[in-house]
Structure 1
């Protein structure tokens, strides 16, 4: 998991460094390298999900370190529910090519999009992903004081990892299909969201980055469950 996090930082930071040249000052439409990075991140986080639940037993699947903490099954279900919700919102907000309702800037309110450089956008991309992957402030010894909204709270839908993976792969395939077929300029469309106390306005590309990053965040949570001292261990015959 740490290797994936470090690789992500290197790749995104490299994009930021490349963008410092004067020629890239105006914000252009989504670049091929950004599309490739996003698609690769979606594929890598898919594999991370498969790896995380491989060989998980029925007892391990529903184990909860504490009554208020999620099990492996619940972490996985939350990932699927959130991705489904985010993509339905994305399709509604960006899929029709409508004019954006909000425009943001790192420092100034509602400027023209052309005022923001690609380097500035990419530094925000990095911040958004880092912010999601940072679980250092999560105190697993007490209930969360910021629970997710009701629509993405797991309800025990999946009885087995295999059943969950079937739904997860179906949703991830749909996510990729929507992204591949979008014709609008993701960098020129914006959305307001209260996801983070640090940021609340995102362009379309940054919105999409949150999908694999959110997946990885809760896979980190899933691994925290698997590392718990009381997590059921395979019986040695």
Structure 2
């Protein structure tokens, strides 16, 4: 009986020790939530007063309008949420930390100037009108912020793509999530700088 108690005590100390060694420290969720909020707010400021003509202006027939860019961002919010959910259901893999790519790899990739090709499942439909795209995005982003702000999961040991050469942890998925908005903010500002972009804004 004493031996059993001793084993149980060691096990509890091990569990408590692993909790004390949580790798996703307080600075990480703060950084994540701050950037999720920052990019949400910047997108709102950039688009909330657009007129219908401004929302749906195309630089060229094959270029997305601002409405389509924001719809694309909203679709990716759904995809990021699924990745976070699936990653958190997996077995923690702290052993992958030493060999996985650093955070800077993901930030540099999402912010590079090179054009990225959107997969078919995240291409905008164009069916959503104007500001409804912003409402769509904002509701999803607020859900993401709420989860990131309250989760007790250690996002640096929860990985996806573990069978590949490039597994990434959930903190790095968050870098993609908020960085994706930063990336497309450049696109929105480019659209607004076009000489034929409508000048009138929405009237309240």
TM surpasses 0.5: yes
Deviation of residue 115 (structure 1)? 4.4
Alignment of 1:1-237 (within 5 A): 28-94=22-88, 96=89, 98-100=90-92, 112-113=95-96, 115=98, 124-135=102-113, 137-138=114-115, 147-161=117-131, 163-192=132-161, 200-234=166-200
8 Å CA contact 1:76, 1:219 repeated in 2: no
Change (3 A) 1:154 1:33: same
Distance in structure 2 (CA, Å) of the matches to 1:187 and 1:160: 37
8 Å CA contact 2:155, 2:170 repeated in 1: yes
Distance in structure 2 (CA, Å) of the matches to 1:56 and 1:79: 17
Deviation by residue 1:131-150 (Cα, 9 ceiling, x = unmatched): 21122x33xxxxxxx63222
* Structure 1 residue matching 2:160: 3-state secondary structure: strand
Change (3 A) 1:93 1:115: closer
Distance in structure 1 (CA, Å) of the matches to 2:98 and 2:83: 27
8 Å CA contact 2:33, 2:149 repeated in 1: no
Structure 2: gaps spanning 5 or more residues? 1-20
Structure 1: gaps spanning 5 or more residues? 1-26, 104-110, 139-145, 194-198
* Structure 2 residue matching 1:188: 3-state secondary structure: coil
Q: Over alpha carbons, which structure has the higher Rg?
A: 2
* Structure 1 residue matching 2:125: 3-state secondary structure: coil
Structure 1 segments of 4+ aligned residues over 3 angstroms from their partners:
113-116
8 Å CA contact 1:78, 1:154 repeated in 2: yes
Deviation of residue 130 (structure 1)? 2.4
Deviation of residue 113 (structure 1)? 4.2
**Across the two proteins, how many residue pairs are aligned to each other?**
179
Change (3 A) 1:66 1:200: farther
8 Å CA contact 1:72, 1:225 repeated in 2: yes
User: Alpha carbon RMSD of aligned pairs, Å?
Assistant: 2.5
Deviation of residue 70 (structure 1)? 0.6
